[in-house]
Structure 1
């Protein structure tokens, strides 16, 4: 099952063979499909990734020393490793209860460095910065490029 894990850049750069788990992640869930019945698989995947980007922003708000870029890791994990949340904050939210190994990571999605000021402001609750971030797409990186991701 494809999941989108919110992480920080600092956390990603310290990935040995494993990302932290359990954690709230995002996926294409039945609730997400119901919310947007006219969407296609790609649209639902984009919505799940956006939910994870918001989750990354929340992590940054709790870690003011972290580089100010939203980071999402796409990973394929066994369905048995994904559990529904009792009261999910958004329709795409799930819990990943197993370790996520580097070999399960498919791609990494990161803000471009020019977004760092907006990300930092959004992490402090700046509504205008949050709106500007909604208009930004995350850049795609292959897992082999993790060491080349700019820190902002």
Structure 2
């Protein structure tokens, strides 16, 4: 069985992924967790997935350095269930991934299509992330 995780990245992290075709673990990510489902019992799988993606996008924004573009980058990755454990965090979507991410397990990239002027949720501004297939990722780094 596998679990879909949402791995927050920066533009430099994305460039490293393209160059190496992998990201060394362990890693912190976001996913649909039992805690999320318990906290939001009226939600469904699609809503929980979107919540995990949004949390990863928020994390991506906080990981940026001056060398990074002002965009959020989130990889959707399928990993073995036993490689994911809940993280000690107030965020119910936060998980730890015990191993590396390899290219063949990446499902898609979610990314802002334009530079953001400020924090995405400031002043109610929170643009949707665009979806990119794996074969498009190299052209985006």
Same fold (TM over 0.5): yes
Whole-Å Cα distance in 2 between the matches of residues 71 and 103 of structure 1?
18
Match of 1:39 among 36, 43, 50: 43
Larger strand proportion of the pair: 2
**Aligned-CA RMSD value:** 1.7
- Residues of 2 paired with 1:20 and 1:57: CA distance? 20
Moved over 3 A (4+): none
* TM-score for both structures, normalised by structure 1: 0.83
Residue ranges of structure 2 left out of the alignment (5+ in a row): none
Q: Which has the higher helix share?
A: 1
Q: Deviations over 1:91-146 (max 9, x none)?
A: 10001110110110000000121xx133xx228xx843xx312xx11000001101
Q: Aligned ranges for residues 2-151 of structure 1 at < 5 Å? A: 2-15=4-17, 16-60=20-64, 63-85=65-87, 87-113=88-114, 116-118=115-117, 121-122=118-119, 127-128=122-123, 131-133=124-126, 136-149=127-140
2-structure distance, mates of 1:28, 1:117 = 27
Query: Shift in Å at residue 64 of structure 1?
Result: 1.6
Superposed CA deviations along residues 59-107 of structure 1, whole A, max 9, x for unmatched, are 01xx12211110000000011211122x313110001110110110000
CA distance in structure 1 between the aligned counterparts of 2:24 and 2:133, rounded to whole angstroms: 19
Number of aligned positions between the proteins: 137
